[in-house]
Amino acid sequence: MLIRHADDLTENDVTPQDVYLRRREFLALGAAGIGLGLAGEAAAIPLKGNVSPFSTTEPKTSKEDVTGYNNFYEFGVDKDDPARNAGSLKTSPWTIKIDGECARPGTVDLASFLRGNTLQDRVYRHRCVEGWSMVIPWLGVPLADLLKRYQPTSKAKYVAFETLYRPSEMPGQKRRVLDWPYREGLRIDEAMNPLTLMAVGLYGETLKNQNGAPMRLVVPWKYGFKSIKSIVRISFTETQPRTAWNLSAPQEYGFYSNVNPQVDHPRWSQASERRIGEFRRRPTLMFNGYGEQVASLYRGMDLKKFF
Ligand code: MTE
């Protein structure tokens, strides 16, 4: 991955005018080589990188769809609600607390995260449990690179994630659509798998709020709801964490939630999907096409029971 340092950038590289006007802020963060929004819903700042070998070469879903057709129930339940309402979320300052079964609990903020890590550009398939899919160019860091620094102990069997709870800025939290805050979890080997990404950007820019700014998980072989947005806490746990959708409808949403065309949702088939921007349905692939990387994690498990 190539991080463009501030010194390498010309004004032509920084095309949107609002970004150009924020150039001083951007240069102030030159030590990281990366510009960050400094207050509220910051203007997107360019991030650049080379495509990783994990990337698919399939055509990408348009940026308009990736940033305009979202699930983020903290901002409403309709697909266009997040883009419309998420501007109220202040993403700076922002810290993630890391605690639980680890030798070095601590906190991480976005700026130090970006200074200490090399970003990768990963074009991943993204399959929502509702039957639609996208192809999204994310920018992020393998989650394992972050987690290892906190030295999980031998008791750390799982990793639990929590989204911010702030109803004043997340109007959807005023209604009990889910048991807030949104929570997710992975088994530690899933969390440490090289495909699992902590994303901070997409389409070459910092994440927009509707996509989970400033940091969200991306687990491409699982249904999209595992990819929790706007994370404020990561805990290493000995027991399997509770997750928002499993708490809300356990018969419909299991802990594993691997993309699996052979296990139907109780109310619809999971055998096919519609890629946003296309009309035809295409067959859904086991593990969303990432079986080579992840099938071994589930060897010997009955994936109909552990759906
Ligand atoms: N994270 C939080 N905090 N709240 C949510 O409602 N929705 C999930 C997931 N992460 C959700 C969330 C679902 S159902 C999907 S499909 C993906 O986010 C959607 O990600 P995208 O909008 O970036 O495509």
| Domains delineated in the chain | 46-298 (3.90.420.10)
Residue 111 has a pLDDT of 87
Residue 74 beta carbon below 6 angstroms from any ligand 1 atom: yes
Pick the atom of ligand 1 nearest to 178's CA.
6
Residue 48 has a pLDDT of 72
> Which residue shows structure tokens 């929790």?
228
N-to-C CA span, the chain: 35
Ligand 1 centroid distance, CA of 127 (Å): 11
Q: Tell me the best of 62, 229, 245, 276 to mutate to test the pocket of ligand 1, counting ligand atoms within 8 Å of each CB and taking the most.
A: 229
Residue 6 has a pLDDT of 35
Residue nearest atom 12 of ligand 1, based on CA coordinates: 228
Ligand 1 centroid distance, CA of 214 (Å): 14
The amino acid occupying position 157 is: K
Residue 47 has a pLDDT of 86
Residue nearest atom 16 of ligand 1, based on CA coordinates: 224
Q: How far apart are CA 250 and CA 259, in angstroms?
A: 17
Encode the chain (307 residues) as per-residue pLDDT tens digits: 334 333 333 333 333 333 333 333 333 343 333 444 434 566 788 887 667 889 999 999 999 999 999 999 999 999 999 999 999 999 999 999 999 999 999 999 988 888 888 999 999 999 999 999 999 999 999 999 999 999 999 999 999 999 999 999 999 999 999 999 999 999 999 999 999 999 999 999 999 999 999 999 999 999 999 999 999 999 999 999 999 999 999 999 999 999 999 999 999 999 999 999 999 999 999 999 999 999 999 999 999 999 9
Give this prediction's pTM: 0.88
User: Are residues 41 and 22 in contact, defined by beta-carbon separation less than 8 angstroms?
Assistant: no
Residue 52 has a pLDDT of 84
Residue 209 beta carbon below 6 angstroms from any ligand 1 atom: no
Residue 124 has a pLDDT of 98
Residue 19 has a pLDDT of 35
Pick the atom of ligand 1 nearest to 212's CA.
23
Ligand 1 centroid distance, CA of 238 (Å): 25
Question: Which is it for strands 95-100 and 231-237: parallel, antiparallel or unpaired?
Answer: parallel
Instruction: Give the burial class of 271: count Cβ atoms within 10 A of its Cβ; 0-12 exposed, 13-18 middle, 19 or more buried.
Output: middle
